[in-house]
Every structure is written in structure tokens, then in C-alpha cells.
Amino acid sequence: MARMDEITVGIIGMGEMGKMYARRISAAGWKVIACDRPSKYAELKQEFSDCPKVQILLDGHRVSRLGDYIIYSVEAEAIDSIVALYGPSTKQGAVVGGQTSCKAPELAAFEKHLPEDVDIVSCHSLHGPKVDPKGQPLVQINHRASPRSVGLVRQILSCFGSKRVEISGEEHDHITADTQAVTHAAFLSMGTAWCANDQFPWETDRYIGGIENVKVNLMLRIYSNKWHVYAGLAILNPWAKIQIKQYAASVTELFKLMLGGERDKLEKRIKAAASTVFTPQEREERLLLSDEVLDRFSLGKPPKEKKRNNHLALLAMVDCWSELQIVPYDHMICSTPLFRLWLGVTQYLFRKPGLLDEVLTTAVEDHSFRRDDLEFTFAARAWSECVSFGDFQSYRDRFERIQEYFKPRFPEATRVGNEMINVIFESM
Ligand SMILES: NC(=O)C1=CN([C@@H]2O[C@H](COP(=O)(O)OP(=O)(O)OC[C@H]3O[C@@H](n4cnc5c(N)ncnc54)[C@H](OP(=O)(O)O)[C@@H]3O)[C@@H](O)[C@H]2O)C=CC1
Ligand SMILES: O=C(O)C(=O)Cc1ccc(O)cc1
């Protein structure tokens, strides 16, 4: 066990995650040194003046010279250039890691720019900065490390009370392509479709109540965050491109079956997909979500009678998992709260007696929402292409245009969304 008074933890990048790390690690008793860009030095110093165990330094060179465990908590897109800048200043024998959401570019940057006498142990908290880390998955990647360095990082990060998962960078990226990138692609596409039809979903009967509330609240939650987090974890992850492409293909193919009124083919395909995704013991478990709980989190006035929906986004998710031979339950080790809810509503659709058959009938017989489904299909393909091209600027433009559209509802959506997440997880 390392002695706390002999170890200094360095943090480069004091954005939302960096600040959360600095506050929690210092509160556990470790000395923390941290920096952001030199232009933010004075402001950060002021902000952390109430925190004697956090010392703000001018730049990453200073943090690197003094830190025993240095965490890069910067934009994923910039990891190579930032490690190239400060990496060579790293203290001899130190341990270095990153908090970016995609590990291939981060670990490549470390290998390329860090001195050979420095160990590499990365991490990834699978939740946003405002979520209590207790019990949430925290990935630790012992990439190039002595047992002492592995132990030191375990000891430092234990203050989060998270569920530690030790896997390789490659395993991490493979799993998070599903738990994060594809999940986000589905919600990004919903927002894009609603925006394209100039429609606030909470003003439309079809999108109020039950699992519709989860879709709307999570969509708003994603668009209320920073574009670079979602762009980075999708564009830089090679598996994400493949998986998002399959999601878009599943959406397109299922929509074509709906348009053609091919109920038998649709049913056969969906039920076959469900049998590969939901294992017998999963099917036997009780429903994780209930109507009574979900109905409480509407942003609009609930209609007298619930409108039917064909749930194209959810059917396509199960089809996509099946096509890629993914069992989403195996990915719980790298699940975010958002993914668990997404899996929860998907499972609800497939397990609630009678619901799947009702949905399949709606899909072929009810034409009233074809315009929404058409836009959703376009959107899923457009996000997939945007990620495949790897163009950060066009990702940003698309994201921020839609963000602007929904902006007025973010404060309320964040409040209701947080409450929804808390209540649902308690009830689970
Ligand atoms: N937000 C989330 O929910 C989660 C994010 N992550 C990952 O953590 C990382 C940080 O995310 P988050 O905190 O949300 O993002 P932020 O944008 O809030 O933080 C990144 C910070 O790094 C700063 N930075 C950029 N260049 C430098 C530099 N040369 N030296 C020092 N600081 C620099 C940025 O400044 P500037 O803004 O001026 O560029 C910014 O303040 C990302 O890689 C993200 O993918 C992981 C888990 C959850
Ligand atoms: O839960 C989600 O998917 C989020 O949106 C928050 C988030 C974003 C990036 C991460 O690397 C981890 C968590």
C-alpha cells in the first residue's frame, strides 16, 4: 500500500470530469495537482481556493514533472497532440493514464510519446460528471504496468466506490462501441427526426407516457451535453463505425418491411432476433420497468388514451444486436446508466405480454407516423455516415443545430431525467 503523504496525483484537463476527479480524489486524502489550458489558470485557482488539497498549476509540463499518477482528462480528439506536448516532461517512474472514452488512440499516444520508464494504467468512469460514482462501472486498463503501479491506481481510484473492471483497451473499445456509441446513435437519430419534422415530442400524444418518456428524456439528456464527448467515442472507435452502420441498416430494412406491409416477414425476423438476444433466463426474469413508474416522468400532458407506436428504434436495436451476435447483457460490465435504461425499455417491449404483437401490427397497419419513421431512418443513416467519414466538424454542426432546437427544455428535462433515473434504478 502506498502512503498517501508520499503520492501526488496529477490531472491534466480540468473540465467536468477532471474537476469531479480532483474533488473526490483530494477528499479521500490524496494530494492533487491539476491544470487546464494556461489561459484558465487564474479562474481555476479561484474556483479551487476552497480545496487545500488541490493545487492548480499553470500547465501540463508542471503537472507532469511532479505527478506520481497523472490522468489526462481532455477531449479524445486532442489526446495525441496533448500527450505529445506534455508526455516527455513526465516524472521518471511515474504512472500515466487517461480518462478519454475511447482507448485505442489514447494508448497509442501514450506508447508514442511517453518515456519508456513510465508505466501506463488508464481508466474510464462509465457515467457523467454529475452521477454518484458509487456502484457504477469504472474500467481500469493495466496496459504497461508493474504490479506496484497497478496496485497504486487501484488504491487511488478506490475512493469512488465504483465497481472496478480490469480489462484490456481493446475489450473496452469493443464493448463501449455498443454500450455507448450505438446507444447514442439511436437517441441522436430520434432527436434529429423530431427536429426535421419541427416537432417537440412532448407536445405529441404518441410520445407521452410509458417508455416514450424514457426516449424523450434520454434524447434531451444527450443533446444537453457537449458534442465532443459523443463525437470522440464514436468517431475514434473502429468498432463503433461497424456497429452504428449495422444499426442504420437494421432501421432501414425493418422500415422497408413495414412500408411493404410484410407482417409475416417482419414478425419472423424480429422474433428470431429476440431469441438470440434474450436468453431463456433473461426472459424468465421479471419486468425491470413498470408503466406506473415510467408514466410519472412525462414532460407533456398525458393523453386520455395511450397512442400506439411501432417502436422502430427499439426493434432495430434488437435486430442490430442479433445481426452482430451481441448479447447486450454480456456488456453490463461497461454499462452506463443510459445503456441500462435503454436495455430496460427494449426488454420491456419484448417481455410485456402482448406488447410485441401489438407493436408489429401497428408497424404494418398504422400509417399515421410514417413521416416520423422516414425521418428517423434518414437520421440513423446520416449519423452512421457522419461517424464513418470521421469528420468532427460536420458531427459538431449536426449536433449543435439540433441542440439549439431543444435547448429551451434542457433545464426541465435534466431535472425530470435525473429523477427518472434515480427512481428507476431504485425500483430495479
Ligand atoms: N462528460 C462525460 O460524461 C464523460 C467524459 N469522459 C471523457 O473524459 C474526457 C473529458 O471530458 P469532459 O470533462 O466531459 O470534457 P471537458 O470539455 O469538460 O473537459 C476537457 C478539458 O480539457 C481541457 N484541455 C484541452 N486542451 C488542454 C491542454 N492542452 N492542457 C490542459 N487542458 C486542456 C479543455 O479545455 P477547452 O475546453 O478549452 O478545450 C477542457 O477544459 C473526454 O475525453 C471524455 O470523452 C469520460 C466519461 C464521462
Ligand atoms: O451515459 C452515457 O452514455 C453518457 O452520456 C455519459 C457518458 C459519456 C461519456 C462517457 O465516456 C461515459 C458516460
Q: pLDDT tens digits, residue range 112-125?
A: 999 999 999 999 99
Whether residue 162 has its Cβ less than 6 Å from ligand 1: no
Specify the ligand 2 atom closest to the Cα of 233: 11
Whether pLDDT at 87 is above 80: yes
- Mutate-to-test residue for ligand 2 from 75, 126, 214, highest number of ligand atoms within 8 A of CB: 126
Whether residue 36 has its Cβ less than 6 Å from ligand 1: yes
Whether pLDDT at 358 is above 90: yes
Residue with cell 458534442: 227
Instruction: Pick the ligand that lies closest to the CA of residue 11.
Output: 1
Distance, CA 149 to ligand 2 centroid (Å)? Answer: 27
Could you name the CATH architecture of 4-166? 3-Layer(aba) Sandwich (3.40)
Q: What is the pLDDT of residue 417?
A: 81
Range(s) of the chain covered by CATH 3.40.50.720: 4-166
- pLDDT-derived band at 109 (thresholds 50, 70, 90) equals very high
State the Cα torsion 357-309-251-336 to the nearest 10°: -100
Smallest CA separation from ligand 2 atom 5, residue: 222
- pLDDT-derived band at 285 (thresholds 50, 70, 90) equals low
Distance, CA 19 to ligand 1 centroid (Å)? Answer: 10
Cell numbers representing residue 207 in the block: 410520445
Whether residue 226 has its Cβ less than 6 Å from ligand 1: yes
Average pLDDT, the chain: 93
* pTM for this prediction: 0.95
Whether residue 141 has its Cβ less than 6 Å from ligand 2: no
- Mutate-to-test residue for ligand 1 from 11, 74, 141, highest number of ligand atoms within 8 A of CB: 74
> What is d(CA 24, CA 9) in angstroms, rounded to the nearest whole number?
12
Beta-ladder partners of 122: 141
114 CB-near residues (< 8 Å, 6+ apart)? 83, 87, 88, 90, 96, 120
Distance, CA 225 to ligand 1 centroid (Å)? Answer: 12
Q: What is the pLDDT of residue 219?
A: 94
Whether pLDDT at 198 is above 90: yes
- pLDDT-derived band at 304 (thresholds 50, 70, 90) equals confident
Whether residue 76 has its Cβ less than 6 Å from ligand 1: yes
Q: What is the pLDDT of residue 60?
A: 98
Whether pLDDT at 284 is above 70: no
Whether residue 180 has its Cβ less than 6 Å from ligand 2: yes
- pLDDT-derived band at 89 (thresholds 50, 70, 90) equals very high
- Mutate-to-test residue for ligand 1 from 48, 82, 229, highest number of ligand atoms within 8 A of CB: 229
Whether pLDDT at 226 is above 70: yes
Whether residue 126 has its Cβ less than 6 Å from ligand 2: yes
Whether residue 15 has its Cβ less than 6 Å from ligand 2: no
Residue 176 · residue 137 · CB < 8 Å: no
Whether pLDDT at 426 is above 80: no
Smallest CA separation from ligand 1 atom 23, residue: 13
Whether pLDDT at 5 is above 90: no
H/E element, 163: strand 163-166
Query: Using one digit for the tens of pLDDT, what is the confidence trace for 376-409?
Result: 999 999 999 999 999 999 999 999 999 999 999 8
- pLDDT-derived band at 202 (thresholds 50, 70, 90) equals confident
Which amino acid would we find at residue 20? M
When pLDDT is averaged across residues 29-38 and rounded to a whole number, the result is 98
Distance, CA 270 to ligand 2 centroid (Å)? Answer: 29
Residue 109 · residue 103 · CB < 8 Å: no
Q: Are strands 69-72 and 8-12 parallel, antiparallel or unpaired?
A: parallel
Whether pLDDT at 111 is above 70: yes
Phi, psi of 72 (to 5 degrees): -85, 120
- pLDDT-derived band at 2 (thresholds 50, 70, 90) equals confident
Whether pLDDT at 287 is above 60: no
Q: What is the pLDDT of residue 280?
A: 66
> What is d(CA 170, CA 358) in angstroms, rounded to the nearest whole number?
40
Distance, CA 344 to ligand 1 centroid (Å)? Answer: 30
Instruction: Pick the ligand that lies closest to the CA of residue 41.
Output: 1
Q: What is the pLDDT of residue 291?
A: 72
Q: Are strands 119-125 and 137-144 parallel, antiparallel or unpaired?
A: antiparallel
Q: What is the pLDDT of residue 281?
A: 64
Instruction: Pick the ligand that lies closest to the CA of residue 180.
Output: 2
